[in-house]
Chain A
């Protein structure tokens, strides 16, 4: 049983490390902020999640596991919120993501007062 738990935790740790490095690589390699946000999301969810769950298997039934669980909970709570706030602030600042030409932007996703390139081309026609 102990060996089985160790193997599970190793696998989780290794895959978590993989996701952390890959996501970080994406943060460097991606072309604009929104795609970089996507890559950073990988490290925040998969990387942090798998590594922390792997550590939980090592911690066993103890206070350590509870604390790890709380850390994971807070990370998974705060990191999407800050990603949301960041992307929103970036949009509001006027930096535009790579829209495709004929992409439909639903009304719920629009920020009031912002000019979207799709509309501009549509009005131009």
Chain B
């Protein structure tokens, strides 16, 4: 099989756009449709597209497995940590109003952090699952 230049060039152009769009979905989620879960999935889809065309090994150089696993765990940790922080600041668990002087700002920070946690976890989980499945597939070849 000769090399597929068209495919690789196209993917090189479109992957950054997908990643950028994931960030847009993440941070625009307060105003329009979208949020952490969708953004995480889209980000992971970008990495997966890269892996599909450039191969698993190169994708794992760009986005190492341990990073994906670390993300999967640390997102949940961030989410729970926001809850703990609001406990320590005198509120109830996951009550973001105490995170800042103004309850509105507190809610903003809280939602931002929580959505970030969701995105990090979902992205890490999706990429981890893809890596595992793709690696298994290679064994059966």
Asked whether the complex places CB atoms of A and B closer than 8 A, the reply is: yes
A-to-B contact residues, CB < 8 Å: 74, 77-78, 81, 84-85, 88, 92, 111-113
Tally A-B pairs: CB < 8 A: 21
B10 touches A112 (CB 8 A): no
Report the separation of the CA atoms of residues A92 and B6 in the bound assembly, to the nearest whole angstrom: 16
Among A78, A92, A112, which residue has its beta carbon within 8 angstroms of that of B14?
Answer: A78
Residues of A within 8 A of B10 (CB): 77-78, 81
Evaluate whether A85 and B2 lie within 8 angstroms (CB atoms) in the complex, with A77-B13, A77-B14, A78-B14 already known.
no
A88 touches B4 (CB 8 A): yes
Report the separation of the CA atoms of residues A77 and B14 in the bound assembly, to the nearest whole angstrom: 9
Residue interface bits B1-12, CB-to-A below 8 A is 1, else 0: 110101100100
Report the separation of the CA atoms of residues A84 and B10 in the bound assembly, to the nearest whole angstrom: 11
Evaluate whether A112 and B2 lie within 8 angstroms (CB atoms) in the complex, with A74-B17, A77-B13 already known.
yes
Among B2, B6, B17, which residue has its beta carbon within 8 angstroms of that of A81?
Answer: B6
B1 touches A92 (CB 8 A): yes
A85 touches B13 (CB 8 A): no
Report the separation of the CA atoms of residues A84 and B4 in the bound assembly, to the nearest whole angstrom: 10
A85 touches B7 (CB 8 A): yes
* Listed A/B pairs (20) with beta-carbon separation below 8 Å: A74-B14, A74-B17, A77-B10, A77-B13, A77-B14, A78-B10, A78-B14, A81-B6, A81-B10, A84-B6, A84-B7, A85-B4, A85-B6, A85-B7, A88-B4, A92-B1, A111-B2, A112-B1, A112-B2, A113-B1
For B18, give the chain A residue with the smallest CB separation. A74
Residues of A within 8 A of B4 (CB): 85, 88
Report the separation of the CA atoms of residues A77 and B10 in the bound assembly, to the nearest whole angstrom: 8
Residues of A within 8 A of B2 (CB): 111-112
For A85, give the chain B residue with the smallest CB separation. B7
- List the 6 shortest-distance A-B pairs measured between CB atoms, nearest first: A81-B10, A112-B2, A84-B6, A85-B7, A81-B6, A78-B14
